[in-house]
């Protein structure tokens, strides 16, 4: 363990470039990390079913999904943190009054509370270039544990929700959408569930990210790396800033921190 480290990678804007492709240099870098005995993991806001192909392509079976609410270690679920059920009912009622659609998300699927394709839903989710698209089931959240919701509203509109729903955190990921998470939930919290079980000390933990939902992770992880294309808030808290994702940013960052040469 003394020579082994664990490295967590965000997906969008970190592992994936702006065309939603994994750069060849990133694939090789991850293979090289494994060859040196390191543990490679994903830390993302995506649902598990939204990055299954990426996990298979990179041969990764340890991941933090839903921004820390659903955590899998070597294929086994080790942590779940669902949204507060009663608060979700109240949030839904307010969102309906405001004409703000919601997509409910559990470990296996996502369903929308509006029957037709809504512009906000179509526009934002299409940017992820995923195979699945939410179908209509307004009662979906009443039947099972939800780990994250997508609330579709324009920038600034989330402020009223932040003021009135203290059981949730609201993190914007698109001009038309925010993630709804359990209050205090973050990638950092989910990562801790893995590092504690595997026994990695702080000095052997690394993380790469670019978005607002990476800020807590980049604050907590000892060797944190913001992508060159990262949000200013992410760069401000990271220990290192590498090149953009489409300029071999992962490979450059791994060399910066001394994991590859």
The whole-number pLDDT of residue 2 equals: 61
pLDDT at position 187: 96
User: Is pLDDT above 50 for 1?
Assistant: no
Q: Is the pLDDT of residue 200 over 60?
A: yes
Question: Tokens at residue 3, please?
Answer: 């020579």
CATH for 85-182, options being 3.30.1450.10, 3.30.1240.10, 3.90.79.10, 1.10.10.10: 3.30.1240.10
The fraction of the chain above a pLDDT of 90, given in percent, is: 93
Render pLDDT for 64-108 as a digit per residue (tens, 0 to 9).
999 999 999 999 999 999 999 999 999 999 999 999 999 999 999
Judge contact between 8 and 214, C-beta under 8 A: no
Judging by DSSP bridges, how do beta strands 168-174 and 177-182 pair with one another? antiparallel
Q: Please check whether residue 161 is in contact with residue 149, taking contact to mean a CB–CB distance below 8 angstroms.
A: no
The secondary structure of 88-148 as a DSSP string is HHHHHHHHHHTT--EEEE-SS-EEESSSSPPHHHHHHHHTT--S--PEE-TTGGGSS---E
Residue 117 pLDDT > 90: no
Q: Which of 62, 65, 40 is nearest to 50 (CA)?
A: 65
For the chain, domain boundaries: 6-80+185-256, 85-182
State both tokens at 2: 């003394």
Structure tokens at 130: 């995923």
pLDDT band with cut points at 50, 70 and 90 for residue 33: very high
Confidence of residue 132 (pLDDT cuts 50, 70, 90): confident
Our CA dihedral for 105, 9, 193, 172, rounded to 10 degrees, sits at -40
The per-residue pLDDT for 130 is 83
CATH match for 6-80+185-256 among 3.90.1300.10, 3.10.20.30, 3.40.50.1000, 3.10.105.10 = 3.40.50.1000
Instruction: Flag whether the pTM goes above 0.75.
Output: yes
By annotation, the residues acting in catalysis are: 10
- Over the stretch 204-257, which tens digit does the pLDDT of each residue have? 999 999 999 999 999 999 999 999 999 999 999 999 999 999 999 999 999 999
| pLDDT given for residue 129 in this prediction | 83
């Amino acid at each position: 363990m003394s020579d082994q480290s664990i490295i967590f990678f965000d997906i969008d804007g970190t592992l994936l470039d702006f065309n939603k492709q994994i750069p060849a240099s990133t694939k090789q870098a991850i293979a090289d990390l494994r060859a040196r005995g390191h543990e490679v993991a994903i830390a993302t806001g995506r649902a598990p079913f939204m990055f299954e192909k990426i996990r298979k392509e990179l041969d990764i079976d340890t991941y933090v999904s839903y921004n820390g609410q659903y955590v899998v270690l070597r294929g086994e679920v080790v942590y779940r943190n669902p949204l507060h059920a009663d608060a979700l009912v109240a949030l839904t009622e307010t969102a309906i009054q405001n004409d703000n659609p919601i997509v409910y998300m559990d470990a296996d699927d996502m369903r929308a509370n509006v029957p037709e394709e809504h512009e906000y839903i179509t526009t934002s989710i299409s940017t992820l270039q995923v195979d699945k698209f939410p179908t209509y089931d307004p009662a979906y959240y009443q039947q099972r544990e939800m780990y994250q919701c997508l609330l579709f509203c324009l920038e600034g509109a989330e402020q009223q929700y932040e003021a009135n729903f203290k059981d949730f955190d609201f993190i914007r990921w698109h001009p038309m959408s925010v993630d709804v998470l359990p209050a205090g939930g973050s990638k950092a919290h989910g990562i801790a569930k893995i590092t504690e079980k595997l026994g990695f000390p702080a000095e052997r933990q690394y993380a790469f990210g670019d978005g607002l939902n990476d800020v807590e992770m980049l604050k907590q992880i000892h060797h944190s790396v913001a992508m060159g294309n990262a949000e200013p808030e992410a760069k401000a808290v990271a220990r290192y800033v590498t090149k953009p994702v489409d300029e071999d940013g992962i490979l450059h960052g791994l060399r910066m921190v001394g994991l590859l040469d």
